[in-house]
Amino acid sequence: MTKYVDLDRYLGKWHEVARIPNPFQPESHVGGSDSYEKLPDGSLQVIYGWHEKSLAAPAQKMVGKIRVVDPSHVRMKVQFFWPFEADYWVVELADDYSYTVVGYPDRSMAWVMSRSPVMDEPLYQGILTRLKAQGYPIEKLVRVPQPADAPVQTAPIQTAPVQTAPATTQP
């Protein structure tokens, strides 16, 4: 599991490369992305955008809130529907914040996200290998089609020294 997340660098748009389908994100959701913004109270707003069944379909969105539950910012809670919260754990994060993997502690859900709508296949296969080693059912992951003209988001540049946090146990 990632040891620390710099929330300022985590902000911006992430494209869904793959996910384990769930009741709120079935396989029919294509072109999925999450956009994160910092709120005044220190929490994050997340806007999940997608198209239903076809990239040509109208864009849809849901707005949620993420609150940090540990000092490393690795374990968070996401809420799209009050009063229900779900775990949001950053399982893996590239040093340059170009991709992230988010999962659940029970391994029932996972998302592979990238700043780019397309991920290099060897990188993706390496992520799958690491997820499998952590007990995630990678056979349930589905690739998420993305529009060819989807913008690439660069990660915000680190402006302060990285803080170290106590090591956490594996999820």
- Asked if residue 102 lies in contact with residue 46, where contact means CB atoms within 8 angstroms, the answer is no
Q: What is the pLDDT of residue 17?
A: 97
Q: What is the pLDDT of residue 168?
A: 44
CATH topology of domain 7-143: Lipocalin (2.40.128)
Give the integer Cα–Cα distance in Å for 113 and 92. Answer: 10
CB atoms within 10 A of CB 30: 19
CB atoms within 10 A of CB 88: 23
Q: What is the pLDDT of residue 162?
A: 44
In one-letter notation, the amino acid at residue 55 is L
Closest alpha carbon to 112 in 96, 133, 136, 95: 136
Give the integer Cα–Cα distance in Å for 111 and 102. Answer: 5
Q: What is the pLDDT of residue 153?
A: 73
Q: What is the pLDDT of residue 107?
A: 96
Peptide bond just before 83 cis, omega within 30 deg: yes
Quote the pTM value: 0.86
Q: What is the pLDDT of residue 65?
A: 96
Domain ranges in the chain are: 7-143
Sign of the Cα torsion 122, 136, 3, 62 reads positive
Q: What is the pLDDT of residue 157?
A: 64
Q: What is the pLDDT of residue 159?
A: 53
Q: Please list the pLDDT of the chain residue by residue as tens digits (171 residues).
A: 789 999 999 999 999 999 999 888 889 999 999 999 999 998 999 999 999 999 999 999 999 999 999 999 999 999 998 889 999 999 999 999 999 999 999 999 999 999 999 999 999 999 999 999 999 999 999 999 998 777 777 766 665 444 444 444 444
